[in-house]
Amino acid sequence: MAPATSSASSAVTLNINGEKHQLTVDHRTTLLDALRERLDLTGTKKGCDQGQCGACTVLVDGRRAVSCLSLAVASDGREITTIEGMAEGDRLHPVQQAFLDLDGYQCGYCTPGQICSAVAVIEEHAAGWPSAATDDVRPEAGPPPLTPDEIRERMSGNLCRCGAYVSIVQAVARAAEAHEANRRESRTENAKEAAA
Ligand code: FES
Ligand code: FES
C-alpha cells in the first residue's frame, strides 16, 4: 500500500547506497534529516545546518551535495551515496583507507563529509574539471596536477574544527594517486584485451 500523503507531504523513493527506501516526507524535510531521523543513517553529520561547513556532504548522482540544503522530495529517485555506502563489505574505500593510514581526522565529526567530498574531488579532477586554483584552464592544457593547493581549494567547502587539514590534504593526495594508478592499470588491461 502506498504511504499516506497530504498537501504538506509526499511519498518518495530514496535510492541510498543501492537500496530503495519508500517513505512519506513533509515537504520541508531536508535530505539530511530524512537520512538521520527517518532512516537511521547517522554517519552523515549535522554541523551548521545552513550549508557552511560540509559535515553533511553526500553524493547525489555522483556529485557532491550538502544534504542540509537539499530537500528529501527533490532527492526522489536519485542515486544517493552516504558514508555508509563507501566500503565494500570489510574492504574500505581507498579514500577511507588513506584517511585512516594518514590520520586525516581527530574527533572524526567532519570526516564522513570530508571523505564523501574527497571521493567526488578525485573523480572531478580525473575528469579534467578545473578549480579556482587552476592556472591554465584551457581544455588542451589537460587536468592540472593535484597539488596541495588544488586539493585545498577543491576541499574548501569542508571545514574541520580540529584543524586536521594537513593530514586531510595528504590523505586526499594519496587516494588520488591510488585512483590514477588503478585507471592506468585498467587502461593497460583494456588495451591488451583489444590487441588480443
Ligand atoms: S551541516 Fe550542512 S553544510 Fe553544515
Ligand atoms: S576531525 Fe574533528 S572536526 Fe574534523
Nearest ligand to the C-alpha atom of residue 110: 2
Residues 6+ apart with CB under 8 A from 171: 95, 98, 99, 101, 102, 104, 118
Number of H helices, E strands in the chain: 5, 5
The DSSP code sequence of 107-173 is S-SSHHHHHHHHHHHHHHHHTT---TT-S---GGG-SPP--HHHHHHHTTT---TT--HHHHHHHHH
Give pLDDT, residue 52. Answer: 98
Choices 3.10.20.30, 3.30.565.10, 3.40.50.300, 3.40.630.30: CATH for 9-85: 3.10.20.30
Give pLDDT, residue 182. Answer: 83
Give pLDDT, residue 96. Answer: 98
Residues of the chain within CATH 1.10.150.120 domain(s) are: 94-195
Q: Which of 49-53, 144-148, 185-189 has the highest mean pLDDT?
A: 49-53
Q: Band of the pLDDT at 180, cuts 50, 70, 90?
A: confident
CA distance 120 to 126: 10
Give pLDDT, residue 103. Answer: 97
Cβ of 58 below 6 Å from ligand 1: no
Cβ of 54 below 6 Å from ligand 1: yes
Cell of 104: 586525516
- The rounded Å distance from CA 36 to ligand 1 centre is 13
Give pLDDT, residue 1. Answer: 52
Give pLDDT, residue 193. Answer: 82
pLDDT at residue 2 is higher than 60? no
Residue 171: count other Cβ atoms within 10 Å of its Cβ. Answer: 27
Question: Is residue 73 helix, strand or coil?
Answer: helix
- The rounded Å distance from CA 56 to ligand 2 centre is 13
Cβ of 56 below 6 Å from ligand 1: yes
Residues of the chain within CATH 3.10.20.30 domain(s) are: 9-85
Give pLDDT, residue 144. Answer: 85
Q: What's the rounded mean pLDDT across residues 159-167?
A: 98
Give pLDDT, residue 13. Answer: 97
Give pLDDT, residue 7. Answer: 85
pLDDT at residue 4 is higher than 80? no
Q: pLDDT by residue (tens digit) across 111-159? A: 999 999 999 999 999 998 999 999 988 878 877 899 999 999 999 999 9
Annotation: CATH topology of 94-195: DNA polymerase; domain 1 (1.10.150)
Cβ of 48 below 6 Å from ligand 1: yes
- The rounded Å distance from CA 147 to ligand 1 centre is 26
CA 140 vs. chain centroid, Å, equals 28
- The rounded Å distance from CA 121 to ligand 1 centre is 18
